[in-house]
Amino acid sequence: MGDAVNISSAGLPSQKAGWVDGSHWLNEVREWSFQYEIEHMVPAKANGQLVTRSRCCFPEYTKEKLDHFGKHLVSVLLTSVFINAALMLRKWFLCYFVPPRPELLRKKYFSDEPDKSTGRYSAKEYLSHPW
């Protein structure tokens, strides 16, 4: 996939000799990405300016009471923990409080009857993977 979008794998140790299997390649990519983060993903002055400027969107009473906390809150608003929690809450809500869709509104991804020659059901449309 990296080759398809012109991402070079020249920095990986086994690039010339080849990888034994997918997990060997994945381990090398993981180590490379950790090293890349250490070297390149450092705090930037522009990020601090963005946080400072975005604070003007909060009401005045929030600035006064939560000034110290607000600075940190703005800088970590969309972390994966909050996103995952929101998605889990949505999943729980849909599971226990939303009734199933009526038959008319349901999306049918697979055929209702198996193919007569193979006995297999087939997908009516592919979402992302053809299996």
Q: What is the pLDDT of residues 82-121, one digit of tens each?
A: 788 889 999 999 999 999 889 888 888 888 899 999 999 8
User: For tokens 């994945």, what's the residue?
Assistant: 26
Q: Residue 70 and residue 57: Cα distance in Å, rounded?
A: 11
Q: For residue 58, is pLDDT > 70?
A: no
Over range 17-40, report the average pLDDT. Answer: 84
Q: Residue 59 and residue 119: Cα distance in Å, rounded?
A: 64
More confident residue, 68 or 131: 68
Q: What pLDDT is recorded for position 98?
A: 92
Q: Residue 64 and residue 35: Cα distance in Å, rounded?
A: 40
Q: Is the Cβ–Cβ distance between 74 and 54 less than 8 Å?
A: yes
Q: For residue 17, is pLDDT > 80?
A: yes
Q: How many helices (DSSP H) and strands (DSSP E) are in the chain? A: 5, 0
